[in-house]
Structure 1
Amino acid sequence: MIADRRRAPIDDTVSELTRAELDGQRLGDAEILEFMVAVLLGGLETTTHLIATSALFLAARPELWARLRREPATIPAFVEEMLRFDGPSQSLPRFTTCDVPLAGVTIPANSLVLALVGSAGRDERRFADPDRFDLARGVSGGVNFGHGVHFCLGAALARMEAQIAVGALARRFVRLEPLPGPIAYNRTLTVRGPVAAPLRLFPA
């Protein structure tokens, strides 16, 4: 596809990447491929995990499910709190670009650092009573989407997808009931979520 777009660009992301230039330098095929894989995985796996985790969470909390059904305007707040409470991104590997003093320790430049996003969402210095799910917390969903130049390109889309999915479930089903048996989780260094969401859905 990259070779095709270099020969005959069209109005798509791959074509834009083949044309991108900074200080006379262009991206090589390997860099474009790496970027597209990151976009595909980052935009698919994390969002499906967020939706599945949300459905399982709500199935175990019928009173919260009933509230979302009664008050669909609370769904965006639910998604934000879900991102903080049990979001799909658990860690972000990064390299330091300079020496970084942190909590009495200096992390040298060019060091690999694994920022624990899941832990940050439960930081008691940032969130009051962090282990409690609070629909009225009124804060953004932790740091699941990164920060600064590393902020997720698809953050708005992921939020919208999760809100639409939860809203569709709320309109169509009066109750979600977890099926018996253990839930298998996809556990990687950076992402966590259920492999499947075994639920019984009761139509409204």
Structure 2
Amino acid sequence: MDVHTARAVFYKLQAELYEKNGYTCALPFNKQKGEKKDYAYFTGIVNILTEHTLRTYAKQNGLQYGRDVKFDDNPLSLSYITDEAGRLQGIMSRRFDGAYPGTENPLAIWEVKEYYYTTTFGSRIADGVYETQLDGFEINTISKETQKNIQHIYFIDDFNTWWNMGKSYLCRIVDMLHVGHVDEVIFGKEVLERWPKVLHELLAAHEVAVQGR
């Protein structure tokens, strides 16, 4: 999506889902100034869709959202893994943009990169791709050592940034997906259909894990 499409999608979801149903997930603002200052559209879209999918699942299964089914929409701590006795087994080096069901023993952690106002493909974006690759190494290592599968999901958007200016780095992202440094890459408007499906897969995996205890 470009900034105009992302803005339209965000405000549509905000009106039809978030405000209409009294949702509570975080809708952070971007880091722009002046006329460009507004919500972080893609992050808001991800959060609204996540809450909507989890609330719908909870209602259909006689569960309570926020207690039985939940996610962390703004992790303020590092994600970490504990054993059944609560002893620390592994911890991430960086905070992520979201975690399901939370930062303790997450089944999935994700980061959102939106570059709608970027005019040049600089080192900040390139460094972000490199950081994601390092995150993948770390997550895979911790998953292997603790025998707990952690899904690493990468949301990216802005058509011009990736398809016009940064196609070589887009290829690097696809390569990261192929070698397993990320488990899912969701591009732009794909979030509307693909992300709810991924969430249902995570919900099913969580249900199986709980039943197996």
Q: Sort the TM-score into its range (normalised by shorter chain).
A: under 0.3
Scaled by the length of structure 2, what TM-score is found? 0.26
Structure having the higher strand fraction is: 1
Scaled by the length of structure 1, what TM-score is found? 0.27
Select the structure with the greater relative contact order (CA < 8 A; seq sep ≥ 6).
Answer: 1
Please say which structure displays the higher CA radius of gyration: 1
